[in-house]
Amino acid sequence: AQSVTQLGSHVSVSEGALVLLRCNYSSSVPPYLFWYVQYPNQGLQLLLKYTTGATLVKGINGFEAEFKKSETSFHLTKPSAHMSDAAEYFCAVSEGPSDGGSYIPTFGRGTSLIVHP
Amino acid sequence: GAVVSQHPSWVICKSGTSVKIECRSLDFQATTMFWYRQFPKQSLMLMATSNEGSKATYEQGVEKDKFLINHASLTLSTLTVTSAHPEDSSFYICSARQQGANGYTFGSGTRLTVV
């Protein structure tokens, strides 16, 4: 069984400030972890993912996340927020790494990022 | 990269009618596709797993007779909301995983409004 907890349904930052979106997970097996972004009335776009290897993962649009097994966390960060980053962000976990294994991701409830000018 | 096309983006229908939503993998074959429902300001709820050439696997609590899923080819899955009612109004999203890939590609979603 797996689950994802995203702390804070809303995060508000000023343009240029650090962005930190929190995600904690639970999984009975080594997890695959994902961050997705969703703009209004659109589907989800993959920001980054962790499967194996380096625990600091860099994604698109300047975002990165660090897998910390001891803390069961996969927090998303960006050094400097831009107005265009305002969106809904979803953390997700799935069982890995077998290609034939259960791969269906479980999503967190989402965090709405608000960027003030 | 892998692209999933979902159509239509928006649909408004009258109560009692049926609506079909298409999900296509444009540049890869997807033996398995997934259908999600998303309520306002909430996460994605997995409705069913669509398997090419066989019956879909529905999640607990999802009415299979109401949400008909057909995965007729390796690149197309359809979700038909039958006898739609206002409570079926929602955002529906499909996704697919390319063989060997470690992530999912999502369609752009369909906003269904039943009036």
Ranked by mean pLDDT, the top range of A26-35, A67-76, A102-111, B51-60 is A67-76
CA dihedral A20, A22, A28, A29 (to 10 degrees): -10
Whether the pLDDT of residue B71 is over 70: the answer is: yes
Q: Is the confidence at residue A104, as pLDDT, over 90? A: no
Q: Could you say which of B34, B43, B95 has the minimum Cβ distance to residue A90?
A: B43
The reported pLDDT for the residue numbered B52 is 85
Q: How far is CA A78 from CA A58, A63, A85, B9, B83, in A?
A: 10, 5, 10, 31, 45
CA distance linking residue A25 with residue A91, whole number of Å: 9
Q: Among A4-8, B19-23, B30-34, name the one with the lowest average pLDDT.
A: B30-34
pLDDT of residue B100: 66
pLDDT for the residue numbered B90: 94
**Cβ <8 Å between A45 and B43:** no
- Looking at chain A, the number of H-run helices and the number of E-run strands are 0, 12
Q: Which of 15-54 (B) contact A at CB < 8 A? A: 34, 41-44, 46, 49
Q: B100: number of CA atoms within 13 Å, CB side?
A: 4
Give the per-residue pLDDT at A2. Answer: 82
CB contact under 8 A, A109 and B111: no
Q: Verify whether the Cβ–Cβ distance B106 to A108 is below 8 Å.
A: no
Average pLDDT, rounded, for chain A? 89
pLDDT interval class at A95 (50, 70, 90): confident
Q: Would an 8 Å CB–CB cutoff place B104 in contact with chain A?
A: yes
- Which among A96, A105, A108 has CB closest to B104? A105
Q: What is the pLDDT of residue A99?
A: 43
Rounded CA separation A10/A17 (Å): 16
Q: Taking all residues of chain B, what is their mean pLDDT, rounded to a whole number?
A: 90
Token pair in block for residue A80: 């400097």
Cβ–Cβ contact A98 with B under 8 A? no
A 28-47 residues with CB < 8 A to B:
32, 34, 36, 41-46
How many Å apart are CA A76 and CA A50, to the nearest integer? 12
Q: For residues B115 and B42, which has the higher predicted lDDT (pLDDT)?
A: B115
- In one-letter notation, the amino acid at residue B11 is V
Cα Rg of chain B, angstroms: 13
CA angle A107, A66, A31 (to 5 degrees): 45
Q: What is the DSSP letter of A85?
A: G
| A103 confidence band (pLDDT: 50, 70, 90) | low
What pLDDT does A100 receive? 45
